[in-house]
Amino acid sequence: MKPRMITVAIMALGGQGGGVLQDWIVTLAEDAGWTAQATSVAGVAQRTGATIYYVEMVEPTPGKTPVLAQMPIPGEVDILISAELMEAGRAVARGLVTPNRTTVITSTHRTFAVQEKVVPGDGAADSAEVLALVRKSSRKLVADDMQQLAIANGSVISSSLFGALAGCDVLPFHQQAFEKVVEHSGKGVEASLKALRAAAELARTRTMPPALVAKAEAMKTAPRALPEKAASPALAPLLVRIRSDFPQAAWNWLGEGLARVVDWQDATYGNDYLDNVARFAKRDPQPQEATLTIAAAHWIAVAMSYDDVIRVANLKTRSDRFARIRGEVGGKDGDVFGMEEFFHPRLEEIMGLMPVKWANWLDRSPSVKGWLAPRLDKGRRIHTHTLRGHLQLHMVAGLVRWRRGNRRHAEEQAHWQAWMAVAERALDAGDAALAAEILRCRQLIKGYSDTHARGEGKFDRLMYAVPQLAGQPDAGVKLAGLRAAALLDPKGKALGEQEMALGLRTKVAA
């Protein structure tokens, strides 16, 4: 009789413990006297693909050495374990999941891929659609947020996935054998066992995967409730002002916006933010829904807290960032780890840090600019874990106190004031829907350097279209369609097609 063989494929991203999970499965099989072989093929960095770990195990064959494969073969995988939902979908696409054979164990949380992040708008794939495909393609499906389950038990996702494997009863080993493997690993045993047992119970009792958020909400986060108390005395009057001067439906959005601009600059800047939003809140035709006020609260905060070199330096030198990264790499107390930051500043970014008069003088001195450009416009690697590297960025972050006098801020302020004026003209004409949509167009501008320039070019094209649409009964809807098209691709092809469909004169992006 042919000996029984079980094949297991594991799809895991870097840092998710796929190698640990593979080792545990091999140890589990070998402790039971089975022959097991493990191989892996590394994925590409920056979340363009997972590492595929593969295990083949064969029941005891006294006096014989089985010959095992080194890669999973489409149609011949018994168990597919995925540490992230989209990787389960990729496994289906590769033919590693078959309806009459494969049990799939997957976490339903998302780690967005590069292909999803590069889309100017929300490029997230539809999680519910992927889960439905995996359910249809598999013999049995165990799906839940295994990462959150692990965190709730003080462990990591490899422990909860191992527990789900124990609970779905597709391997001929009792749960005690799984727990024994974890106990002998000697690292975080108590927490790992808690996560294992919780996941095993979930796998035994859950009959259907949980409902997932729709694609449109995948990359969005709802605003937090407006806090009852301010974080500092300087912010207390601003919270009072929100509650007294703005419609309640917009309070949470105003709280988030205020927190963002204060973190970006200071409380005085936060008061300026509320002044800008008040220009629209006072004219909101529907204060109960506060649609116009919410749009202003959201996108004015984004405009006023633009990305610049000072902000980047500030974020990269924060202590909570070091703590987060230490946790992501599994660093323990006493471990030494380092970070290498990559920078490629252009002369434009350096001039943006200068006072307006200095930058203007430099513009009038092409010979000086020609001498500076090749010396500044080159890549740099800064080690922020060293004193020298940290101080370099710390000094740049310290320029925040002079930020409101530099050229970049003057340019940004002029740009957002002009943008708000366009929205106010729509209000003057009685079209609040168009005004709100003009405010939402700020979504196109993000990042810095070339990314910022591309987004601003598309934004300018939409602002050029506004007077052509003004006066039409569905002007807001048409502008929303243009914005959606602009978010579809970086080069603006879809935007051009939509402009032609509406018969608009176009402005070519810079």
pLDDT class of 46 with cuts at 50, 70, 90:
very low
Dump pLDDT digits (tens) for 146-155.
999 999 998 9
* Three-class secondary structure assignment of 44-57: CCCCCCCEEEEEEE
Which of 145-159, 194-208, 284-298 has the highest mean predicted lDDT (pLDDT)?
A: 284-298
**CB atoms < 10 A from the CB of 222, how many?**
9
Average pLDDT, the chain: 88
Query: Quick one: pLDDT at residue 121?
Result: 61
Of 105-119, 265-279, 304-318, 485-499, where does mean pLDDT reach its minimum? Answer: 105-119
pLDDT class of 62 with cuts at 50, 70, 90:
confident
Q: What is the residue whose two structure tokens read 């789900």?
A: 164
pLDDT surpasses 60 at 230:
yes
Query: How large a percentage of the chain has pLDDT more than 90?
Result: 61
* Three-class secondary structure assignment of 435-453: HHHHHHHHHHCCCCHHHHH
SS3 call for 12: strand
Query: Quick one: pLDDT at residue 188?
Result: 80
**Residues 429, 435: Cα–Cα separation, whole Å:** 10
pLDDT class of 400 with cuts at 50, 70, 90:
very high
- On whether the CB atoms of residues 461 and 418 are closer than 8 A, the answer is no
Of 35-44, 363-372, 433-442, where does mean pLDDT reach its minimum? Answer: 35-44
Domains and CATH numbers, the chain: 5-217 (3.40.920.10), 407-510 (no CATH)
pLDDT surpasses 70 at 177:
yes
pLDDT surpasses 90 at 455:
no
**Residues 157, 195: Cα–Cα separation, whole Å:** 8
Dump pLDDT digits (tens) for 433-449.
999 999 999 999 987 66
Query: Quick one: pLDDT at residue 218?
Result: 47
pLDDT surpasses 50 at 283:
yes
Query: Quick one: pLDDT at residue 215?
Result: 44
* Over residues 15-23, mean pLDDT: 87
Nearest to 92 by CA among 123, 124, 47, 130: 130
Query: How large a percentage of the chain has pLDDT more than 70?
Result: 91
pLDDT class of 349 with cuts at 50, 70, 90:
confident
Structure tokens at 245: 């001067």
- On whether the CB atoms of residues 216 and 123 are closer than 8 A, the answer is no
Dump pLDDT digits (tens) for 83-114.
999 889 989 999 999 999 999 999 998 877 65
pLDDT surpasses 60 at 16:
yes
